[in-house]
Amino acid sequence: MNPYSGAQFFEFFAILARRFGQFFMGQAGGLAADELQLAVLVCSAIACGLLGPFLVLKRMSMFANSLSHTTLLGVVGAFLFASHWWGSGMTDLSTLLLGACISAGLTAGLIEVLSRVFRLAPDASIGLCFTTLFAIGVILVSLFTRDVHLSTEAVTGNCDALLSSDLRLAASIALLNAILISLFYRPFMLMSFDESYLRALGFSAPFWRFCLFFLTSLTVVASFRAVGVLVVLALLMGPYLTVRLFCHQLTRLVWLTPVCGVAIVVVSVALSRHILSASGVPLSTGGIVSLLTALTFLGGASVRVVMRRFA
């Protein structure tokens, strides 16, 4: 029995707080579906929020977008490989790593080849690369599964039917991102502002750029099944752009962005439950996250306008 069924918006938080208490007393039992969803989304929000500032500063957001498309091919490739030779499923960590490697390598490599060897303009090479790879991915998926729904889900994800293994994955990616960003904060910061200074200090700029790209790829692939690439994109861009309206210091931005993302995600899960209770329509939580991200930015922007007028 889900303790949240029938809960209204504010009731949701009350039940959440009570469950927290029970959890620490050891009486909670397993995670309820809503709690699992909340936990996975919070982990994704943290993972994305940490990367978002660097991606935007490095002007790699359309790169991230192309990753979100090519991931499909990486995942299909990894899945085929894993099910043939390892006999393991998609949620396995090694399969996931393989998928991330395939998609990051393919995307970065192909874009590089198209712009260096074939001398295409950057926008043309990015566009050509991800549309082609995505088309191949979709065709492979529909060849092997003969199911249109899977390819739809590949884009939108399904964060309304999660497993506890998804939580393990999302948590480990969030932890990995947090550790790497805090350990190597300095090279990441220098890379996004002043690559020549980074080189002068003896770091390799392409290496760190690929690191950022690979971390993004890992995050996208990990969230692929659970929350969908779309939510990842929204969480990569939205919180950072909102926080940026008010704050211009990178250190603060890097920890405020995940906080903002987490806030958006918590409210969306509560809202999704509220709508389900009130009207009986289960909406896609991922869609609610994107809509709320948009609204958050609009809210932030209007606050900013008001602040300017009275400052």
Contacts with other proteins by CB under 8 A lie at 56, 59-62, 64-65, 69, 114, 117-121, 123-124, 126-128, 131-132, 134-136, 138-139, 142-143, 148, 151-152, 155-156, 230-231, 233-234, 236-238, 241, 245, 281-284, 286-291, 293-294, 297, 301
* Closest distance of CB 9 from other proteins, Å: 17
Tokens 């993302």 belong to 261
Between 200 and 305, CB nearer to other proteins? 305
Task: Give me the least distance between CB of 194 and other proteins, in Å please.
Answer: 17
Tell me how far, at minimum, the Cβ of 13 lies from other proteins, in Å. 22
Count of C-beta atoms within a 10 Å radius of residue 202: 6
Per DSSP, helices labelled H in 146-284 are: 148-156, 164-183, 185-193, 195-200, 205-226, 228-244, 250-279
Residue nearer to other proteins on the CB measure, 38 or 288 = 288
Dist CA 144 CA 80 (whole Å): 10
Minimal distance in Å, beta carbon 118 to other proteins? 5
Shortest separation between residue 138's beta carbon and other proteins, angstroms: 4
C-beta of 15: minimal distance to other proteins in Å? 24
How does DSSP assign 284-304, residue by residue?
-HHHHHHHHHHHHHHHHHHHH
Nearer to other proteins by Cβ, of 114 and 198: the residue is 114
Cβ contacts of 266 within 8 Å, gap of 6 or more: 38, 42
Contact 205, 191 (CB under 8 A): yes
Nearer to other proteins, 15 or 55 (CB): 55
Identify which of residues 82 and 114 has a Cβ nearer to other proteins in the complex: 114
In the complex with other proteins, the residue whose CB is nearer, 175 or 294, is: 294
What is the phi/psi pair of residue 282, to 5°? -80, 110
- How many Å apart are CA 198 and CA 140, to the nearest integer? 41
